[in-house]
Amino acid sequence: MNNRLMDVIKEHAPDSWDFLSKAVSSGLNYNILEVNTNSREFLHVIADLRKHDEIFEVKWVRRIQNLSMYGRYALRHQQLMVRNRFNPANAKEEIRYACIHESKIDSLAQRNLDARYLAVENFENRFNKSELFTNVLSAIREMTSNDSNWVLVMARVTTEGGKIVSDSEIYPEYVLKLKMKDVSLLWG
């Protein structure tokens, strides 16, 4: 992308984005940053998860900053909102969840929730974009319970008629490392 377009996207990036801090990991077009556990952002991210404290605890939260991926998401979001301006309930932004192997966080940050790049050898690859969960517990149930190397992805999603039809309607905003306390409560 040209620099002028990247500057425009940067101007419209979420307020939480930080372009000065040292990244935990970075690539050609992305940065992954640790979210401070004492920040408002951290409390906001884990707000829906706190009601499940007896099942797991959040060890860390990392924010994905990918300007080109976010730009595609923001543009698609606007397109769907304009197309549905006379029927606003048909298009909406919501949070959805998925679990991926921790070794695939960089692939996620670079390529979005694309199952081709998130597959892990010797594990069933269950992820596909139509199975992003609205309920965090449903996503966690998909994790391999005897392997602690899975992380929860919290994604912004713009749906039209409740459906996701392209990767540009998904922005994987946060990755959370969970420590399971009582797995039996997932099915209780």
DSSP state of 163: B
Task: Please report which confidence band the pLDDT of residue 44 belongs to, taking 50, 70 and 90 as the band edges.
Answer: very high
91-131 per-position pLDDT tens digit: 999 999 998 899 999 999 999 988 788 876 655 555 555 46
Task: Please report which confidence band the pLDDT of residue 147 belongs to, taking 50, 70 and 90 as the band edges.
Answer: low
* Rounded Cα gap, residues 149 and 122, in angstroms: 13
Question: The whole model's pTM is what?
Answer: 0.88
Mean pLDDT: which of 121-125, 132-136, 153-157 is highest?
Answer: 153-157
Only one residue has tokens 């605890």, namely 57
Task: Tell me what pLDDT residue 81 has.
Answer: 93
Task: Tell me what pLDDT residue 83 has.
Answer: 92
Domain 3-187 classification at class level: alpha beta
Of 31-35, 38-42, 111-115, the least confident: 111-115
DSSP state of 113: S
Amino acid identity of 101? H
Return the bridge partners of 159, or none: 92
- Residue 98's nearest CA partner among 141, 52, 37 is 141
How high is the mean pLDDT of the chain? 86
- Residue 109's nearest CA partner among 164, 151, 147, 160 is 151
Amino acid identity of 170? I
Task: Please report which confidence band the pLDDT of residue 157 belongs to, taking 50, 70 and 90 as the band edges.
Answer: very high
- Residue 129's nearest CA partner among 174, 169, 173, 74 is 169
Average pLDDT over residues 147-167: 89
Only one residue has tokens 């099915």, namely 187
Check: CB of residue 151 under 8 Å from CB of residue 99: yes
Amino acid identity of 165? V
